[in-house]
Amino acid sequence: MTEPVAVLLQQLDRDLPVPRYAHPGDAGADLVAAQDVELQPGERALVGTGVAVALPYGYVGLVHPRSGLAAKLGVTVLNAPGTVDAGYRGEIKVNLVNLDPRHPAKIVRGDRIAQLVVQRVERANFHVVDALPGSGRGAGGHGSTGGHAGLRDAAQEGFRL
């Protein structure tokens, strides 16, 4: 097992718990809502978490949805995964959206609303060229390998990607 990376964390709201991993081996540390919010069907809100971090350069924080919230309420992270840059010092906020077509979703201060996954990240040097080297896939994408029943049905109805 690798050593956890040290991340400086500022509690902007000391009454809220520090993000924590629910189990050993969990990839994401749970982020909680700093405020109550009720989302009508289709509505979104930028919800504070009461924490700010200073990630070491070479790392990124990814704000992932929680599967339980998605399954139970239809609530997810609109820009999933959100990107927290190493240089960012503001409050981590979660752009929650209620995708349930019928029911409003109530989020209460302290509810776990998302999870922060801290990862190493590479940066690229982009070298502009006139033509790219060939590959097996080439420009094929967006379902070019086929084999999905739903896609076949859609094709029969005249839908083309």
Ligand X SMILES: O=c1ccn([C@H]2C[C@H](O)[C@@H](COP(=O)(O)OP(=O)(O)OP(=O)(O)O)O2)c(=O)[nH]1
Residues within the interface to ligand X (CB under 6 A): 63, 79, 82-85, 88, 92-95
Q: Which of residues 84 and 159 has its CB atom nearest to ligand X in the complex? A: 84
26 annotated to bind ligand: no
Q: Whole-number minimum distance, CB 50 to ligand X, in Å?
A: 12
85 annotated to bind ligand: yes
49 annotated to bind ligand: no
Q: Whole-number minimum distance, CB 85 to ligand X, in Å?
A: 3
112 annotated to bind ligand: no
Q: Which of residues 60 and 160 has its CB atom nearest to ligand X in the complex? A: 60
13 annotated to bind ligand: no
Q: Which of residues 82 and 105 has its CB atom nearest to ligand X in the complex? A: 82
Q: Which residue is nearest to ligand X (CB)?
A: 82
Question: Which tokens in the block code for residue 100?
Answer: 């349930």
Long-range contacts of 101-106, Cβ-Cβ distance < 8 Å, separation of 24 or more: 101/41, 101/42, 101/74, 102/41, 103/41, 103/73, 103/74, 104/38, 104/39, 104/40, 104/41, 105/38, 105/39, 105/73, 105/74, 105/75, 106/36, 106/37, 106/38
Q: Whole-number minimum distance, CB 75 to ligand X, in Å?
A: 14
Q: Whole-number minimum distance, CB 83 to ligand X, in Å?
A: 4
**How would DSSP label each residue in 42-102?**
T-EEEEE-SEEEEPPTTEEEEEEPPHHHHHHH-EEETTSSEEE-TT--S--EEEEEE--SS
Q: Which of residues 11 and 79 has its CB atom nearest to ligand X in the complex? A: 79
Which residue ranges make up the annotated binding site?
A: 66-68, 79, 83-85
